């Protein structure tokens, strides 16, 4: 049986933590689709053409240790505007979403474009200031010397680029459940997501 959980939302809203938690709880596979765009962005920073990089992407590219930097995030959001790059990544994501045993995919366009018939659609969000603070703490714990102001500017710039692009803009699917994590702890946000998935699983059982 396939069962797809689509989790979308802006950077640092808590999608990653919620997706991993949902996957672990229900024994589903998890794909962080941002890593696909980051891996393509990383290759372009090394001089490759974005479309060639997207077509040549292999699973090992997602394992690179340096995909989480702010520089790679910006490169990812620039290549993500390109509709040919996006098309080159669709099949891999759709096949992943229908794997037997259940799958969680998180990104920007999972509920709207990649998996419009996902059994569960969540749109996880939080204020830009709170998301930037979370991302700042994450990056500085890893030794980055980026400032709070730079992280907030980066988050805002990516939000605008991701929401305003013409192909697959970041937005909630019409039937997505909205989860604003601004005033929630990680445990509270995960609990809310688990309850939503649990209900949907009950409905298909
Ligand atoms: O989620 P993450 O911050 O790793 O994503 C990096 C960038 O990749 C995003 O800012 C966005 O531009 C792009 N992306 C996308 N569609 C997805 C996942 C990520 O356009 N499904």
In this prediction, residue 203 carries a pLDDT of 84
**Mean pLDDT, to the nearest integer, of 137-141?**
93
Query: 4: closest CA among 124, 162, 122?
Result: 122
Phi, psi of 151 (to 5 degrees): -65, -40
Quick check: CB of 37 below 6 Å from ligand 1? yes
Quote the CA–CA distance of 161 and 34 in Å, as a whole number.
14
Residue pair 80/86 in contact by the 8 Å Cβ criterion: yes
Dihedral (Cα; 170, 111, 191, 152), 10-degree rounding: -10
Task: Decide: pTM greater than 0.75.
Answer: yes
Is the pLDDT at 204 greater than 90, yes or no?
Answer: no
Residue pair 47/166 in contact by the 8 Å Cβ criterion: no
Quote the CA–CA distance of 98 and 94 in Å, as a whole number.
7
Q: How far is the CA of 196 from the centre of ligand 1 (A)?
A: 24
Pocket test for ligand 1, best of 76, 92, 115 (most atoms within 8 A of CB): 76
Mean pLDDT of the chain: 96
DSSP code, position 114: I
In this prediction, residue 135 carries a pLDDT of 93
Sketch out the chain's domains with CATH numbers.
4-193 (3.40.50.300)
Q: How far is the CA of 170 from the centre of ligand 1 (A)?
A: 9
Quick check: CB of 33 below 6 Å from ligand 1? yes
Is the pLDDT at 205 greater than 80, yes or no?
Answer: no
């Amino acid at each position: 049986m396939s069962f797809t959980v689509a989790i979308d939302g802006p950077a640092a809203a808590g999608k990653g933590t919620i997706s991993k938690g949902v996957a672990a709880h229900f024994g589903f596979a998890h794909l962080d689709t941002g890593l696909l765009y980051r891996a393509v962005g990383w290759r372009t920073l090394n001089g490759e053409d974005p479309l060639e990089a997207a077509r040549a992407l292999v699973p090992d590219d997602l394992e690179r240790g340096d995909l989480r930097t702010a520089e790679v995030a910006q490169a990812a959001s620039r290549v993500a505007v390109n509709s040919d790059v996006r098309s080159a990544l669709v099949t891999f994501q759709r096949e992943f979403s229908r794997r037997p045993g259940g799958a969680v995919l998180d990104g920007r366009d999972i509920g709207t474009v990649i998996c419009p018939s996902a059994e569960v659609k969540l749109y996880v969000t939080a204020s830009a200031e709170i998301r930037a603070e979370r991302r700042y703490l994450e990056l500085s714990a890893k030794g980055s010397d980026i400032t709070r102001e730079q992280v907030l500017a980066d988050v805002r710039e990516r939000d605008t680029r991701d929401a305003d692009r013409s192909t697959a803009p970041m937005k909630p699917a019409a039937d997505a459940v909205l989860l604003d994590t601004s005033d929630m702890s990680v445990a509270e946000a995960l609990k809310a997501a688990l309850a939503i998935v649990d209900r949907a699983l009950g409905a298909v059982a």
